[in-house]
Amino acid sequence: MTSLVETHLAAAPFIEKAPLERYVAPEKPSLIGLSRAALADALGRLGVPQGQRKMRVQQLWHWLYFRGLTSFDAMTSVSKELRSALAQNFTLERPQVVAEQVSVDGTRKWLLRLPGEVAGERPHEVECVYIPDSERGTLCVSSQVGCTLNCTFCHTGTQRLARNLTAGEIVGQVMAARDCLGDWPGGTRPTDGVVPKKSTERISGKPDMRGERCVTNIVMMGMGEPLYNFEAVRDALLIVADGDGLTVSRRRITLSTSGVVPNIERAGAEIGCMLAVSLHAVRDDLRSELVPLNRKYPIAELLEACRNYPGLSNAKRITFEYVMLKGVNDSIADAKALVRLLKGIPAKINLIPFNPWPGSRYECSDWEQIEKFSQVVFDAGYASPVRTPRGRDILAACGQLKSASEKLSARERLALRAMVMTD
Ligand code: SAH
Ligand code: SF4
């Protein structure tokens, strides 16, 4: 399977957008990611009187998050003086797109550059993946550079945590993706690859936006454990859900966790997004091996937190993710135990074919076994439970982002450079 991926990978090259040699660390902070209150404070520091701040914040919010502007110049409703004061002190920068790769199935992957933690440090890189299908366009967003947890089937788990992303860098991934997709009012869609189908969702109160969006859904399933970077993830997702700006409804935002029990309740109460739980095993001994965090928060505690998830109902179910590992967790007995375990919890089950990475100790279950397993799940009343692998040719599967970016840093970057130089 790896060789298949690698063959396709060669066919879908990364397009380098920003060579590292030209990287200049930002000198000014970006406004992206500030809450309305923080924006008001920033305006206050620029001398905007208290009585005007709310109105100015509303104007800025529209330009930033509804229109997606990348410069202050075009903010026609903002006075020239304020625009220039803003430009002197802030930017509208999002994470910088280092490279883009387009899969034959329309999936797009971007490698994004973030500043190092201290001046002069090599910048960090994370990935963001866009997965279009007929009714929606899903963006897979990262929350950390690396991960502190060491799930044995996940390549991100082999990386040390470099740092948490800021709220601005999390929202910035959504903005950068929409920039690349021409996904702002009046924007131009990319002409390469599969053109994303239009959303048919009507965005309430915004009839002019109907059918116009590429990015309709957000999943926090990129690099990192979002519940170990709770505040930044919360602040970012509240901006993403804000109805005057990016307007992705909370029902279309899914946060995936490996099971950080103490923060599950907070996610429901403070963000109100959909929850996905990386279950992967039905017994504590096996789950502790696959997801070592299980030693701290075993299955019973995790499921108890799920039962108490604020807003849980048949219309708002928790997705349980289950990676299919050959001979490890994929027996029919496991499938039966899985449906027994989840009985009584409003749930969806998502079987994920394991995506192998170089050096991984597991194999993906055989297709027949996945079908048999999914039949048990289906017979128990769960609809279409297998996640179709997307963007395989560009190694885009969620949970495998770092491995792909590492590949780029090492081998492909060299190849790319050679390509760029001979162009
Ligand atoms: N840290 C969070 C979110 C990021 S991982 C979590 O663990 O839930 C997103 C999903 O990808 C998780 O369900 C994770 O278990 C899964 N995943 C990780 N590596 C994978 C691989 N190699 N193949 C298939 N799924 C994988
Ligand atoms: Fe971290 Fe999630 Fe990977 Fe586990 S599966 S190592 S929690 S990113």
Q: Best substitution site from 155, 160, 223, 258 to test ligand 2's pocket, by max atoms within 8 Å of Cβ?
A: 258
Confidence class for position 16, pLDDT limits 50, 70, 90? confident
**Ordered DSSP codes for 30-51:** BSTT--HHHHHHHHHHTT--HH
pLDDT of the residue at 409? 41
Q: Which residues line ligand 2 (CB under 6 A)?
A: 147, 149, 151, 154, 156-157, 224-225, 258, 278, 399
Residue 50 exposed, middle or buried by CB count within 10 Å (0-12, 13-18, 19+)? exposed
17-52 per-position pLDDT tens digit:
777 777 777 889 999 999 999 999 999 999 999 999
- Of the candidates 44, 45, 64, 66, the residue with the CA atom closest to the CA atom of residue 53: 44
- The DSSP bridge pattern shows strands 318-324 and 274-278 to be parallel
Which pLDDT band holds residue 9 (cuts at 50, 70, 90)?
very low
Q: CB neighbours (10 Å) of residue 272?
A: 17
Encoding tokens for residue 89?
């002190």
Comparing 343 with 205, the larger pLDDT belongs to 343
Portion of the chain with pLDDT greater than 70, in percent: 83
User: What pLDDT is stored for residue 207 in this prediction?
Assistant: 40
**Do the strands 347-353 and 318-324 form a parallel or antiparallel pair, or are they unpaired?**
parallel
Mean pLDDT (the chain) is: 85
Q: What angle, 0 to 180 degrees and rounded to 10, lies between the N-to-C axes of helices 50-61 and 36-45?
A: 120
Decide the pairing of beta strands 274-278 and 253-257: parallel
Atom of ligand 2 nearest to the CA of 278: 5
| Chain segment 127-183, per-residue pLDDT in tens | 899 988 888 899 999 999 999 999 999 988 788 888 999 999 999 999 999 999 999
147 is known as an active-site residue: no
Please identify, by atom number, the ligand 2 atom nearest to the C-alpha of residue 223: 8
Measured CA to CA, the distance from residue 90 to residue 31 in angstroms comes to 6
Q: What is the pLDDT of residues 290-314, one digit of tens each?
A: 999 999 999 999 999 999 999 999 9
Q: What is the pTM of this model?
A: 0.89
- Is the pLDDT reported for residue 7 higher than 50? no
Query: Is the Cβ atom of 257 under 6 angstroms away from ligand 1?
Result: yes
151 assigned to active site: no
Q: Ligand 1: does its nearest atom lie under 6 Å from the Cβ of 127?
A: no
Q: Looking at beta carbons, which pairs linking 249-254 to residues 24 or more positions away fall under 8 Å? A: 250/274, 251/316, 252/136, 252/216, 252/217, 252/218, 253/217, 253/218, 253/219, 253/220, 254/217, 254/218, 254/219, 254/220, 254/221, 254/319
Tell me the C-alpha distance between 62 and 23, whole Å.
Answer: 30
Instruction: Quote the pLDDT of residue 176.
Output: 97
Q: 110-119, 263-272, 405-414 — which one is most confidently predicted on average?
A: 263-272
CA of 149 relative to ligand 2 center, distance in Å:
6
Would you tell me the crossing angle of helices 230-241 and 167-180 to the nearest 10 degrees? 40
Closest CA to 47 of 86, 8, 93: 86
pLDDT at 201 over 70: no
**Which single residue is written with the structure tokens 């209150």?**
37
The DSSP call for residue 156 is G
Is residue 390 within 8 A of residue 397, CB to CB? The reply is yes
Among 253, 321, 386, which residue has the most ligand 1 atoms within 8 Å of its CB, making it the best to mutate?
321
Q: Of 93, 100, 127, 321, which residue is the catalytic one?
A: 127
